[in-house]
């Protein structure tokens, strides 16, 4: 809808600085002509939005101008509070920051949207781990999260399942993933593709001042999706030879029947 697109333009310019019409069009998945019309509509509504020509030009908001959150729909306002995940923020040491951010958002919401956001907080609770999962204590999670954020290398002692179990590694942590209540860090340990490490299996950790730059094409979500597919593919890799009595194969069904016919 046009109204939500106008709000998106304001938020993009407020958070990303000057942007060309072509870049705005790409972000919003509309034509450049549509962006021109939207900019004119915003200017006609009194928004201090202007354009600069030249190589470093683009549309920008007047310095100091900030949008209010009145452009949020009721569903969007409620989703902000539903997605808060206070336990996750607490694990990362961001509990007070999350609470302060939600307070500011709530204060800026119109009364009718604020009531809906309050209902979400009161009626929905997120508990990510499964029923039979034991709580894992990741003693070094905050240090790993800091290294991820600051792009700094870590020296760790890591416990793995095969011999030798305890190994020393220099890790360049690209990102953190929370899966079923357990934290994983995706990191490079030198040459080759990045690997996945359980944070609760880091026995010792030493932070460094060594700054690294991850590959430009690294995508954390895409990596994790590929990692999960590969993990499930490798779950069952054994082969077995089964001898059947004469006529027993006729009673097999499904995959077992197909396997019997193919052998």
User: Alpha-carbon distance 116 to 75, whole Å?
Assistant: 8
Residue with tokens 């460094």: 208
Task: Name 234's Cβ contacts closer than 8 Å, sequence gap at least 6.
Answer: none
CA distance readout (Å), 152 to 54, 189, 199, 200: 37, 13, 16, 19
Lowest mean pLDDT among 63-77, 174-188, 204-218: 63-77
Mean pLDDT of the chain: 81
Higher pLDDT, 82 or 131: 131
Q: Give the integer Cα–Cα distance in Å for 169 and 146.
A: 18
Contacts of 132 (CB under 8 A, 6+ apart): none
Neighbours of 156 (CB within 10 A): 27
166 close to 154: Cβ distance less than 8 angstroms: no
Q: What is the CA radius of gyration of the chain?
A: 26
Report which of 203, 166, 165, 202 is spatially closest to residue 187, judged by C-alpha positions.
202
- pLDDT at residue 205 in the model: 96
pLDDT score at 79:
63
Structure confidence at residue 159 as a pLDDT band (50, 70, 90):
very high
Q: What's the pLDDT at 65? A: 72
B/e letters for 12-40, b = 16+ CB within 10 Å, e = fewer, are: bbeeeeebbbebbbeebeeeeebbeebbe
Q: What is the mean pLDDT of residues 226-253?
A: 78
| Token couple for 240 | 């077995």
């Amino acid at each position: 809808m046009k109204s939500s697109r106008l709000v998106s333009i304001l938020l993009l310019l407020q958070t990303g600085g000057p942007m060309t019409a072509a870049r705005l069009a790409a972000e919003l998945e509309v034509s450049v002509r549509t962006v021109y019309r939207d900019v004119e509509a915003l200017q006609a509504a009194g928004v201090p939005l202007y354009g600069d020509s030249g190589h470093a030009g683009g549309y920008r908001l007047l310095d100091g101008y900030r949008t209010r959150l009145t452009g949020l729909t009721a569903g969007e306002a409620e989703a902000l509070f539903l997605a808060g995940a206070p336990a996750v923020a607490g694990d990362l040491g961001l509990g007070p920051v999350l609470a302060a951010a939600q307070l500011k958002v709530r204060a800026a919401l119109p009364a009718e949207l604020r009531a809906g956001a309050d209902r979400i907080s009161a009626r929905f609770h997120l508990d990510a781990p499964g029923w039979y999962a034991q709580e894992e204590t990741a003693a070094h999670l905050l240090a790993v999260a800091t290294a991820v954020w600051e792009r700094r290398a870590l020296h760790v002692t890591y416990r793995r399942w095969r011999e030798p179990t305890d190994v020393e590694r220099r890790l360049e942590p690209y990102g953190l993933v929370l899966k079923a209540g357990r934290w994983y860090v995706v990191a490079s340990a030198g040459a080759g593709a990045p690997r996945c490490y359980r944070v609760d299996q880091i026995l010792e950790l030493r932070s460094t001042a060594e700054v690294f730059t991850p590959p430009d094409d690294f995508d954390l979500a895409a990596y994790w999706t590929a990692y999960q597919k590969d993990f499930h593919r490798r779950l069952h890799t054994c082969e077995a030879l089964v001898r059947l009595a004469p006529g027993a194969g006729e009673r097999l069904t499904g995959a077992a029947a197909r396997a019997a016919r193919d052998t």
